[in-house]
Structure 1
Amino acid sequence: MGRLRRLAEATPPSRDRYVDLLRALAIIMVVLGHWAVATIGYDDAGQPTGRSALPELPWAYPLTWLVQVMPVFFLVGGYANAASLTAHRRRGGDATGWLLGRSARLLRPTTVLVVVLAAAALVARALGAEPSLTRTVVWFATIPLWFLAAYLAVVPLTPVMYPLHRRFGLLVPLALAALVALGDLGRGLGPAAAALPNYLFGWLVVHQLGFAWYDARTERSPHDDRAEPSPHDVAGEPPDHRTGLRSRRLPMSRRAGWTALLGGLAVAVLLTGPGPYPVSMINIPGERLDNAAPPSLALLALTTAQLGLILLLRGRAERWLGRDRPWMAVIAVNAVVLTVFLWHLTATILLVGALDAVGLLPTPAAGSAAWAAWRLPWVLMLAVVLAVLVAAFGPVEARTGRPPAARVPGPSSGGGAGRRWWATGRATLTAAGFAAVVYALVDNAVTPREAPEPLGLPASALVAYLAGAGVLRLLRSGWGSRG
């Protein structure tokens, strides 16, 4: 508690606490949503199995509009990445160094999950477990990694996409949204694979809006007395006085909030009612289209409505976060927020296994009164198990500090040409490390859950992940910089 209080007291006035609150709430809602809709049963072999209860709960489809908050995470991710990259460059760092620092915050807790699951699968195999069963368990535990794969594909593009935003403003997410619409048209008329680029284009739309929020927060505006001096103004770049879609500042007024909320809701209703998109914003097995995987135009309409609501609640939330206790709670959650997300389905597996072992695993039919009554004790028990996991593995994330601000390291000899060669090689290796990790996470996601994988994860995915994460770790340590 004393450490949290010191961190709260040391928070600079320029920090947007609302962004941290939204990140924490987004992850908590994802965790609670996954737990709440889970239904547990037994397969033909008598093994416990789990799935979503949503197919049996069509009345709950509109409620997914409230709990589908992955866009909020990408929104605050865009804000945080723009702020972090700007600060890193002002301290003398380069884009590659920033990416390496970002990789530490994202990959250290993820590596712990991957290594622990692979080791547990190896032990289970040694004890005689079937590889297909081991794979099924690990597949469930690694479901959160599909989201991380998308985020790790977006983050390395920040040094390119943020300057693009600074030049073209809100035209960039508009153009990306048009590409999403083309992808939706392709999968509506042809194969579902036609929309695969939407995994990148859709989340980039939301990420770019985070850039616009950051610029609105930091650039002086004659219409916002609370705006602060921009780092770009300090560097000599004039503030943005453009209006319309070429503006790089997100409109932050209450009028803009109401427009986004009501307009986004109206478009989402039209797209999912008379339109071709499903009502649910979470995947429902058997649906022709999926609004979230990959992101669809309907999800972007909902994102617009969510953004409007965020703007409308901003003033009240910022006043509340000015108090010590709420802000300390937000700091505590954000210190382990990725750990919470990564391990919440592992907590489900452990609880199911424990209850099954003692013969106390309830398996009420999805949507029944017994199933509904079981929701509260189920979530409370899962929270206890997850708390134990976070206590064990959370310190890895909590100890990950801010990336160093050093300039590009270079060999001790070779002059300017040698330094340029090393800078290019360092950037290439960093990109390759990110690409290997993203490939590994995607490979794991598309490998069938019944595949006979002795290590739980596909061997190719495990090798690629460890190679990519290892290269990024070596580069963060300054490997090769001494010549």
Structure 2
Amino acid sequence: MSTTATTPSSATPVVPPGRDLVVDLARVFCVLLVVAIHVMMVGVAVDATGAVAVNRPLQEQSWFALSTWAGQIMPLFFVVGGFASATAWAGARRRGADAGDFVRGRLLRLARPAGAVFAVLAIALAVATLLGVDPELRDVVATGVGSPFWFLAAYGITQVLVPVMARLQATRPWATLIVLVVAAVLVDAVRYGTGVTAVGLLNLAFVWLFVQQLGFAYADGRFRRTPRVVLFVVAVVAYAALVPLTSIGPWSDDMLSNLNPPTVPLMVLGVAQICVLSLLHPALSRLMSTPAARAVVFAIGSRGMTIYLWHLPLLIALFGILLVVGGPLPQPSTAAWWWTRLPIWALVIGLACLVSLATARFERPPRALPEGRRRASWWLIGAAAVLAIGPPFDVMHEGLDLRNAIAGAVCLPLAIWLLGRSRPGVPTLEPAATTPGGGFARADEAREG
């Protein structure tokens, strides 16, 4: 294999030695499945009175809760993100970067694309408010459009802590996992025991850090060294454990309901999913040995963040256009509606790829600091982290509205500005990264997950 790194304009991706293409495939699979679920989740129609009605056809199905045991793939997203983070941090250290350089680069990779989306949504909500769009409909649509932003808050928290958690993985891997499990169980116990849901927000750290640690373990080869029969047994036991947890325990059998705030069953699901991925690794590796598979994964993966952040705004915009021009809108949950989900899904993916032509610069690695300059101080990086994580956290907790859309449109660019500050000194190499979709890069480059 050639060691030449590929670029988005490359006709054929060239794979560096040591690259785990199965991780890239898993990341792309997660993004595409999220889009598919949301396409099936949103039903828009005009009722008998001529009013626009929005519902969630997928959640109305009797089999929906059980399907989430397979369809809730956000734990897997954080697992492969953990793999990417471990690889990124190891590469950054080899190049002489410190924890501040690493965190700065990761925050920039989240803040830049998110800031653009917040700006567009702030303008859209302001225009809708000025035009007198029905407030109830506007709020329903805005809440749905903002639902993916929780990922930015959760992932931002885990990324800031990567250097610390990677050190714990290297020195006390089992103790770290046990502490995170105990902490998450205690948080859920207080949450369900007191009825104070907000307590569960603490598990944004404990649950997702636990799943990220599984990705660290995957990166250091622990799962590759585990016998396949053990992986199979652990996966079966983990899935089986969800039965008593969601029937006798306080947790819902709907893994979507367990998402925000995250709960213990998602940790169990993460264990099962990483074992399944490890079991399928040989077959998926053979698939990724084909040029066609690599080309598709690269094409989608290099636009992963754009597709994730823009697919719901584009889906809602598409429905809005159909409503204005009187286009076909099958009644949700009918056979015609279900049959149109696949072309709608493909159209949304295509539109997101078109948007990526304008937003591609936001998914590129941050520029290296000028010669003779070094990154901003930890104080500025910490302030930028609060500014970058705060607005998505607010959207996750309160739902998207004009107020927090404006807050995001202001705070995210300010975070980017702070992260771009520099001071005199010997510069360290900047950690490069790809987006959550995982485009191909040098094996020793950092990647966003």
- TM-score when scaled to structure 1? 0.78
- Rounded to whole Å, the distance in 1 between the matches of 2:328 and 2:13 is 46
- Rounded to whole Å, the distance in 2 between the matches of 1:397 and 1:409 is 28
Q: Does structure 2 conserve the Cα–Cα contact (< 8 Å) formed by 1:8 and 1:331?
A: no
- 2:324 maps to 357
How much has 1:382 moved relative to structure 2? Answer: 4.3
Q: Does structure 2 conserve the Cα–Cα contact (< 8 Å) formed by 1:257 and 1:312?
A: yes
Q: Does structure 1 conserve the Cα–Cα contact (< 8 Å) formed by 2:238 and 2:271?
A: yes
Choose the corresponding residue for 2:283, options 316, 321, 327: 316
- Rounded to whole Å, the distance in 2 between the matches of 1:409 and 1:36 is 52
Choose the corresponding residue for 1:381, options 338, 344, 350: 344
- The answer to whether the aligner puts 1:263 opposite 2:237 as a matched pair is yes
- Rounded to whole Å, the distance in 1 between the matches of 2:9 and 2:288 is 14
Q: Does structure 2 conserve the Cα–Cα contact (< 8 Å) formed by 1:93 and 1:406?
A: no
Partner amino acid, structure 2, of 1:426:
S
- Rounded to whole Å, the distance in 1 between the matches of 2:13 and 2:412 is 38
Choose the corresponding residue for 1:282, options 256, 264, 287: 256
- 2:393 maps to 442
Bigger relative contact order (CA 8 A; separation at least 6): 2
Partner amino acid, structure 2, of 1:151:
Y
Q: What pairs with 1:171-190 in structure 2 (closer than 5 Å)?
A: 171-190=175-194
- Rounded to whole Å, the distance in 2 between the matches of 1:24 and 1:84 is 18
How much has 1:473 moved relative to structure 2? Answer: 3.6
Instruction: Compare 169-178 and 390-399 and name the one that shifted more.
Output: 390-399
Q: What pairs with 1:7-26 in structure 2 (closer than 5 Å)?
A: 8-26=12-30
Corresponding residue pairs, total: 420
**In the superposition, relative to structure 1, how do residues 408 and 140 fare at CA in structure 2: closer, same or farther (>3 Å)?**
farther
Unaligned runs of 5+ in 2: 1-5, 427-449
**In the superposition, relative to structure 1, how do residues 406 and 448 fare at CA in structure 2: closer, same or farther (>3 Å)?**
closer
**In the superposition, relative to structure 1, how do residues 99 and 253 fare at CA in structure 2: closer, same or farther (>3 Å)?**
same
Instruction: Compare 194-203 and 351-360 and name the one that shifted more.
Output: 351-360
Q: What pairs with 1:8-407 in structure 2 (closer than 5 Å)?
A: 8-41=12-45, 47-129=51-133, 134-191=138-195, 192-216=197-221, 251-283=225-257, 291-360=258-327, 362=329, 364=331, 366=333, 370=334, 372-397=335-360, 400-403=363-366
Partner amino acid, structure 2, of 1:333:
I
How much has 1:182 moved relative to structure 2? Answer: 1.2
**In the superposition, relative to structure 1, how do residues 299 and 380 fare at CA in structure 2: closer, same or farther (>3 Å)?**
same
How much has 1:212 moved relative to structure 2? Answer: 1.0
- 2:411 maps to 467
How much has 1:399 moved relative to structure 2? Answer: 6.4
How much has 1:385 moved relative to structure 2? Answer: 4.0
Q: Does structure 2 conserve the Cα–Cα contact (< 8 Å) formed by 1:436 and 1:465?
A: no
Partner amino acid, structure 2, of 1:198:
N
1:191-239 per-position Cα deviation (integer Å, ceiling 9, x unaligned): 22332211211111100111111111xxxxxxxxxxxxxxxxxxxxxxx
- 2:380 maps to 429
Q: Does structure 2 conserve the Cα–Cα contact (< 8 Å) formed by 1:156 and 1:431?
A: no
- Rounded to whole Å, the distance in 2 between the matches of 1:174 and 1:45 is 56
Instruction: Compare 397-406 and 149-158 and name the one that shifted more.
Output: 397-406
- 2:3 maps to none
- Rounded to whole Å, the distance in 2 between the matches of 1:266 and 1:448 is 34
How much has 1:398 moved relative to structure 2? Answer: 6.0
- Rounded to whole Å, the distance in 1 between the matches of 2:272 and 2:352 is 35
Partner amino acid, structure 1, of 2:402:
L
Q: Does structure 1 conserve the Cα–Cα contact (< 8 Å) formed by 2:147 and 2:399?
A: no
Q: Does structure 1 conserve the Cα–Cα contact (< 8 Å) formed by 2:232 and 2:275?
A: yes
3-state SS, counterpart of residue 402 of structure 2:
coil
Q: Does structure 1 conserve the Cα–Cα contact (< 8 Å) formed by 2:391 and 2:411?
A: no
Partner amino acid, structure 1, of 2:206:
F
**In the superposition, relative to structure 1, how do residues 358 and 94 fare at CA in structure 2: closer, same or farther (>3 Å)?**
same
3-state SS, counterpart of residue 210 of structure 2:
helix
1:264-321 per-position Cα deviation (integer Å, ceiling 9, x unaligned): 11211221234432222112xxxxxxx2222222222222211111111001111221
Instruction: Compare 168-177 and 62-71 and name the one that shifted more.
Output: 168-177
- Rounded to whole Å, the distance in 2 between the matches of 1:406 and 1:215 is 31
- 1:240 maps to none
**In the superposition, relative to structure 1, how do residues 19 and 448 fare at CA in structure 2: closer, same or farther (>3 Å)?**
closer
How much has 1:103 moved relative to structure 2? Answer: 2.3
Partner amino acid, structure 1, of 2:270:
T
- Rounded to whole Å, the distance in 2 between the matches of 1:3 and 1:393 is 15
Identity of paired residues, percent? Answer: 30
Q: Does structure 2 conserve the Cα–Cα contact (< 8 Å) formed by 1:433 and 1:469?
A: no
Partner amino acid, structure 1, of 2:16:
P
